[in-house]
Structure 1
Amino acid sequence: MTEDSPRRRLAAAMEQRRVELRLRWEELAKRARMSTANLRRLRNDETATLTPMRMADLESAFEWQPGTIQAILSGTDSRVGVGPEFEVEEREIDQGHVTFAVPPDLPEGDRQAIVRWAEEMAQRLMGRQKG
């Protein structure tokens, strides 16, 4: 992996969060419903597949908000020290509360699309946790 590749940023963020949660990789793999070997491949191999469902499982395992992994991969997540400043958006939804970040200079139409997406993902994840 290159020095500042998307996967390197993700691996660094995962390691930082693992330490914060005081968990072993084995426990995080179990939480993400995957083998320790697969989790290791995702952390160390840029060619390993990261599907939307796998990202949702990992975000749940690491106790991250929906969309965090995509933000890390795109270089816009501040937890790994990259990306512009963001504005925090908070929304009440049927089953709870969702918080996410958006760039301050984003056109209003794009901002609304992100808000709709974040609300939809939160609804899906909350529904999945109930079932």
Structure 2
Amino acid sequence: MRRNMQAIKSSDTGPEKAVRSLLHADGLRYRVGRRPLPGLRRTADIVFGPTKVAVFIDGCYWHGCPDHYTLPKTNSGYWSPKIEGNRLRDRDTDARLLAAGWLILRFWEHEDPAVCADKIADAVRTRRRRRLGGG
């Protein structure tokens, strides 16, 4: 099982790359796979540091998508708690980032990358305007 787990990509997935490509084409610059908060051993997929926007593109299986997650038929005694632990960690991450003034944007891997990129761009530009005193 260890070899299996090591082969699974945790970053630079197809959905992440698609959203990043659209954001970059729209003129936005960001950091990839960064820790938004020092000391918190959790990384966001896309980070806009100055505007404090953290983007997560969650895999349907690993984060328990309500539309696509199905309980595995084998070794469910291991996987069910694992996925639930991921969900709880996601909520804890959200709470910590919110308390530090961050905006958290979470998307599922099955969502349209163009829609995700538009929402992210709008949020970043809105926060940038507020930060610079423009609204």
- Shared fold (TM-score, shorter chain, > 0.5): no
TM-score by length of 1: 0.37
Higher fraction of strand: 2
Higher fraction of helix: 1
TM-score by length of 2: 0.36
- Compare CA radii of gyration and give the structure with the larger one: 2
Q: Which has the higher contact order (CA 8 A, sep 6+)?
A: 2
